[in-house]
Structure 1
């Protein structure tokens, strides 16, 4: 399958629209329990650096949205901490998420600025990797839809043991392509939201998707009342498949996704907060590493020409993480429950995963995509 013309055109437009390389002044945003301060921002097109201060009582993620699409995001901002987010934005109107899902969104206006192509990579060099990644994503979303349908059928049939077995099998396909799947803010919040994102936590009617079903199966050990949540999950999986078929994957999102997948493991998943009811966390870890490795493999020839030492070091780090995860494999091809790991085991995982995340965080910059 050859690369489609829209993908190549999008890359050329991205390169043509870059702003001056002069370092921008950071834009301060404070998130409280009620929303963003200020609630409206205006920045020039090109690269902006946002400094997000979490003055709320919960860990949060701050996102820049255009419609339902997530343009950029910074996850896992701890209360009392400040984190930075670099974003290269085109002129237009955007929204900002501001803590709890029930909080009003902020507005972000990006005004036109003089453009330059200085320092950008050859756009056409990215067409091949992007086309190959799109094929990979399409295959994974097809498998995700198929396995989710089987998972939903088991729930509606009331076969708890079968549903429990299918839960991590379906999720791994989503986790491999999360950088793309999570671009759709509405679907990501519906399918993969956690109770912590709501004021009423598990009791909130907005708590739905995989983790609501996970709670029912493991914490309640019942499928009672889960059918509507299961139907919605399958409908969302169907819609995700449709949207991805029409999606031109942004180059920066592909390259940044390699780090994003590993950073999420290092920042929060290593603590066991993701699959807190089922303890199937290691399935997610492994899928995140697989998805990240796929992106790195596709971009490796471009990066090797610029920084062969980085490529060799990253290969070694991937191998270390793979070897550690392999220790917890089960005979049926799955993974041990995460609560079977000791604190020492978890710390042994955290070090190499953190190092890998730090190295991959430079990948976008090495390709001139920051």
Structure 2
């Protein structure tokens, strides 16, 4: 494999298909408890078991914050919080029951969530860090195989503004935007079929110059549909599969789709050798198009996909791992930004009242798009390995900031149990 571009440290080896990527954000969400409040850095990191402290000993010299021990069980949910105060503080949640539990700190009137801890094992204690203002609060304990239990309401006096919070999202909330996105994808698959048909026709008549011209527009149509890749199933590998950047890997008979054709077009292969791959690509796209009306996307995954699209672009496009000769990774990354905008557009009505940092997210999208657009010159794109150090650093920084702004979206749209 060639050296990675300056400023990028690849987190994972390449995969044969993006459908099979290790989902770093999804995995992190299982072990790092992310607060529902999207503008706060409210993270509940796991800790070992131990006895909870009493409210009378609510100090923690190590972090300088007020600590309050709170019990978690069906019979004692929220017990221990008897001296409420405003400000940033830590609740040390101790599960006294015999089953694992999720714990939310909520506004009992509106259901808004200020903090969340998932997977609190029996006998263990974990912290929940929150920023509380004046208002009413209650812990909700959601233990496995039992109904949710809401503890006593605690009132924080005064007039201090409440900290970040977000209303939970349920499956029904996500069905309309999911259906709308599926319809949008169906329209794009129609465009994709037209593009692969043109590409096939170019190769069939032996016009490889036209094929090189028409390859990128068709490929970018596919790259804008990133939130649907998992729903595509095996079609993803047939349409956009990759192989390792090692000697002989491109000869793998399973290497198919856009990148297989890209390799041939930019490495001197004959039209005759590319006719079968072009026909297979076009057939896979048309099969996907004809069966799309029967596909069903998972509403619960919608928020996560917005983050994954950009994460994958950072991992695969900014490192040129998926460059098989055309040098168009930055064009692909730009299409991925369009793909993220497409999914966020469908979720926006739910996101606006829940994400106080939405303006920062929009600005991050604009900056990233502008940085990529600056590398397009008269219809051609700067290859990643020809970026200057400053250009690379700027694009890397913009993607890093965008990922940071997108991470809360995944937390907001995690479907939560409320009963």
**Higher relative contact order at CA 8 Å, sep ≥6: structure 1 or structure 2?**
2
Pairs within 5 Å for 1:155-170: 155-170=203-218
Contact 1:198 1:204 (8 Å CA) reproduced: no
- For residues 230-266 of structure 1, give each alpha carbon's deviation from its aligned partner in whole angstroms, at most 9, with x where no partner exists: 1111111012212322112211332222111100111
Measure how far apart 1:300 and its partner are.
2.2
1:312 aligns with 2:359: yes
Cα RMSD between the aligned structures? 3.1
For structure 1, the residue ranges without an aligned partner over 5 or more in a row are 1-57, 65-69, 78-82, 88-112
Which residue pairs with 1:356 in the alignment?
402
Whole-angstrom distance in 1 between the partners of 2:248 and 2:148: 49
Which residue pairs with 1:341 in the alignment?
387
Divergent runs of 4+, >6 A: 115-119
1:261 aligns with 2:309: yes
Measure how far apart 1:329 and its partner are.
2.5
Measure how far apart 1:292 and its partner are.
0.2
Choose which of 5, 8, 13 in structure 2 pairs with 1:59.
Answer: 13
Q: Give the number of equivalent residue pairs.
A: 275
When structure 1 is superposed on structure 2, of 157-166 and 185-194 the one drifting more is: 185-194
Whole-angstrom distance in 2 between the partners of 1:199 and 1:168: 25
Q: Which structure has the larger Rg over C-alpha atoms?
A: 2
Whole-angstrom distance in 1 between the partners of 2:307 and 2:174: 18
For structure 2, the residue ranges without an aligned partner over 5 or more in a row are 1-11, 32-143, 150-166
Q: Secondary structure at the match of 2:234?
A: helix
Whole-angstrom distance in 2 between the partners of 1:244 and 1:343: 43
Choose which of 286, 293, 312 in structure 1 pairs with 2:341.
Answer: 293
Please identify which structure carries the higher helix content: 1
1:204 aligns with 2:204: no
Choose which of 65, 74, 85 in structure 1 pairs with 2:22.
Answer: 74
1:129 aligns with 2:83: no
Q: Secondary structure at the match of 2:22?
A: strand
Compared CA separation, residues 351 and 165, structure 1 to 2 (3 A): same
TM-score where L is the length of structure 1: 0.66
Whole-angstrom distance in 1 between the partners of 2:240 and 2:227: 13
Contact 1:63 1:74 (8 Å CA) reproduced: no
Whole-angstrom distance in 1 between the partners of 2:284 and 2:344: 28
When structure 1 is superposed on structure 2, of 323-332 and 285-294 the one drifting more is: 323-332
